[in-house]
Chains A and B, each alone.
Chain A
């Protein structure tokens, strides 16, 4: 929807119309939810999906003049309609709608892999490696230390012995390293940004996914004796991880070659293929204990770099994703636990702000060392603040690994992710705008230079 990337400014009248329609939709859903008995049936889910699709789109149009990304509009619509504000969409419906996450993540990973063009990645490989090292180490160490120091602010850690608190702090440090591929791609799809900053951020975020998954598995093994006294370090997790990573890359390569062949020979009905991959293949990969995100990312990478079908795949994914993203982020907004955020806001704010600051410092240092251009030096860390599904997923894995932590750990993860989920996309869009890489900024620049040089040839926004 917004992925269409329409960059024309819209008039006040159009915004008023959108606001009016949005109010009407809220009124209609309000009447629907209050007037009928079908509280948990499929009808509620269908209506909520339609509503979030429309309301997310309209809200994204309304926040656009404020300079906010469309993602913020989708999330805002979800928050307002969700179970904690207007209660138009209840918990059960939100959970039912989360099924779309599988499709959204498949599209995100496919697009992410396809965006990584080998010749571009080669150019920034040294820079990415240095950024990865510094971002990972500094954020991990910094957040581990801050979490440990601030443990008295966090109810479920305050009561733990010192060693166990240190173990939880290590887990938190790993979580802080995770970023959001979905938010990054969502912003890039909306703004149609292209340029060094967009490519740098994308390459970093997509590769950091592998680093984080590895770190999570290692840390779970390492901190087990700290959190659960009496237990020993087990290498089983690492064995499982090795199998998962290598197997995922192998399956992704095969899938990528298959996709490339399909695109070349048939090349039609890609939306049905994506649905099959998103729902069917994801479920199968989960059953076989492979990482679906890594599989699809590898597949996208293979199609882009080992065949001539990359652009075709990328366009098809972007078209499909523009619809799926609305529902994905609006549902994420509805998922936000506002009462929890209210209870844990001091800790969430401290951890969120310190993560953002350390990310920024690490970005500056690594940019200097890598000799990045000034643009990257200034804005490289702005796209690394977002967190979303991956972080929550890792939090769940850790909670399952250490049931003694209870629901407090998950609650804090959700609260911090909520903070970063709202703040991150705004920062990233701001950075892309300032860097002149979004379609609007690029066309502005082009128009400016065109008028200056009286060049009459219309310029492409990209």
Chain B
């Protein structure tokens, strides 16, 4: 019931009674809350209770990966270009590789009792969890400070297209220890290919079943059914459900002519699912379970910071839009959150014990640290680049009941009044996709705030 309540609160966070742009972008406050309530700290939630939630957590993680897959390679402004897509994937793989190598070396020093395979899985897991930049943090800064410009767009695109790398690494790590090998010796790359194959196959089935006519109720059934089957089938083999459902999401996004409707349908579920996942992830944290956990987390964090700074330098070099930025560009990409914590929890459930604990802890440390450094650095970068207007230093309070031209409520989720969003042209004079600019003199109706003293 507690998780349901949290999910309920999450639905309101995304629905508009609270605002995007407020709260913490990575949701790390829920990780901390889970940690506080969990068996390690206050003990209000016992370990046996947590184990009861494992099936729910498996499904929630798979569903989140599906949502991420549906949005992969798409930013708010449309499809991310192939160059930026490749750069995003390459950078996440690179950062993941650097962190993984560092952890592999460090585990040889701090955790010598781990076997070779455990060390490899651990290194891959931490590399996967520390590879991404969360799109939520970038969107948070952009929305809160009304950032518009080439650099904001570039970082947004990179954040929207860097989930593939970490999930691939995760798929490989899971494939190193499949649950169902039987008498056959199947190579890792074949297991990874099977994981991807399951995602593609069920994604195609979903595309076929969604068909030419899109009906909401039927679509829910198809998406839920295929997702559950994907999650369950991969989990039976000990493979990565997250990679499979992510691939399934990408397949649906690429193959269905109803991608827009599907994304509109599932996007509101992300927050209600994410918050309980973050809480559960926090509750699973056991930082003192083994003496090497904290040193490993520190090494992973240091490696991530260095790798991200390096990634920033690469971006500066190859992207003209970032050419004028400072060398601290990488710090602006340090935020991680939903995907990292999901992967951490996924490892914790799949490899309970030393490896799972270490990966989850590293993900949590990276998330909390990124929370302090990432958004601040990004805001500073964007301000220096002239992409944050000085007037918007203090974000305006939203009009809660603004209406779209067709009468629908649209601005509940945004701190920016709907009229401003619709009236403000993007660089280059293009309008926001999916919106119709209003005629200039038209003002959208708003309900005055009670504290204004209005009747």
Interface of A with B (CB < 8 Å)? 1, 3-4, 6, 14, 17, 21, 24-25, 28-29, 32-33, 35-38, 41-51, 53-54, 57-58, 268-269, 272, 275-276, 280, 319, 322-323, 326
Contact = CB atoms under 8 A, between A and B. Distances in A.
B15 A41 contact: no
Contact of B229 (A41, A50, A269, A319): A50
B235 A38 contact: yes
A24 B205 contact: yes
A21 to B, nearest CB: 6
A272 B271 CA distance: 13
Contacts of B231: 43, 46-47, 50
B236 interface: yes
Which of A1, A50, A269 has the most C-beta atoms of chain B within 10 angstroms of its own C-beta?
A50
B228 A53 contact: yes
7 contacts: A21-B205, A42-B55, A43-B232, A46-B55, A51-B228, A269-B15, A272-B8
Interface stretch (B94-102, B214-222, B280-288): B214-222
B11 interface: yes
Contacts of A33: 236
A20 to B, nearest CB: 9
A47 B58 CA distance: 11
A17 to B, nearest CB: 6
Contacts of A46: 55, 58-59, 228, 231-232, 235
Size class of the B contact interface (CB-based, 8 Å): 35 or more
B55 A323 contact: no
A29 B180 CA distance: 15
A54 B218 contact: no
A354 B351 CA distance: 58
A49 B233 CA distance: 11
Which of B15, B182, B215, B233 has the most C-beta atoms of chain A within 10 angstroms of its own C-beta?
B233
B179 A37 contact: yes
Contact of A36 (B7, B58, B236): B236
Closest 3 CB pairs of A and B: A47-B232, A50-B228, A50-B229
B273 to A, nearest CB: 11
A32 B236 CA distance: 7
A237 to B, nearest CB: 32
A280 B208 contact: no
Contact of A43 (B1, B198, B220, B235): B235
Contacts, number: 135
Interface in B88-118: none
B423 to A, nearest CB: 29
A190 to B, nearest CB: 12
Contact of B233 (A3, A21, A32, A268): A32
Interface of B: 1, 4, 7-8, 11-12, 15, 54-55, 58-59, 179-180, 182, 198, 201-202, 205, 208-209, 211, 215-218, 220-222, 224-233, 235-238, 272
Contacts of B1: 276, 280
B229 A42 contact: no
B193 to A, nearest CB: 15
Given A37-B179, A53-B221, A272 B205 contact: no
Contacts of B58: 42-43, 46
A14 B211 CA distance: 9
DSSP majority for the B interface?
Answer: helix
B224 A50 contact: yes
A185 B224 CA distance: 23
A223 B77 CA distance: 74
Nearest to A38: B236
A42 B54 contact: yes
B180 A323 contact: no
A252 to B, nearest CB: 20
Nearest to B59: A46
A377 to B, nearest CB: 35
Contacts of A41: 235-236
B277 to A, nearest CB: 15
Contacts of B222: 54, 57
Contacts of B237: 32, 35-36
Contacts of A29: 229, 233
Nearest to B4: A276
A183 B335 CA distance: 51
A330 to B, nearest CB: 11
A21 B208 contact: yes
Contacts of A4: 215-218
B205 A1 contact: no
A269 B11 contact: yes
A33 B180 CA distance: 11
A268 B59 CA distance: 23
Contacts of A6: 215, 218
B205 A25 contact: yes
A58 B226 CA distance: 13
A17 B220 CA distance: 19
Which of B179, B232, B235 has the most C-beta atoms of chain A within 10 angstroms of its own C-beta?
B232
A53 B232 CA distance: 13
A189 to B, nearest CB: 10
Nearest to B224: A53
B17 to A, nearest CB: 9
Contacts of B59: 46
B225 A50 contact: yes
B274 to A, nearest CB: 14
B376 to A, nearest CB: 33
Given A21-B209, A53-B221, A319-B217, A45 B236 contact: no
Nearest to B237: A36
Contacts of B216: 4
Nearest to B16: A268
Given A37-B179, A268-B15, 18 more contacts: A1-B218, A33-B236, A36-B236, A36-B237, A37-B180, A38-B236, A42-B55, A42-B235, A43-B233, A43-B236, A49-B228, A50-B228, A57-B218, A57-B222, A268-B11, A269-B11, A269-B15, A322-B221
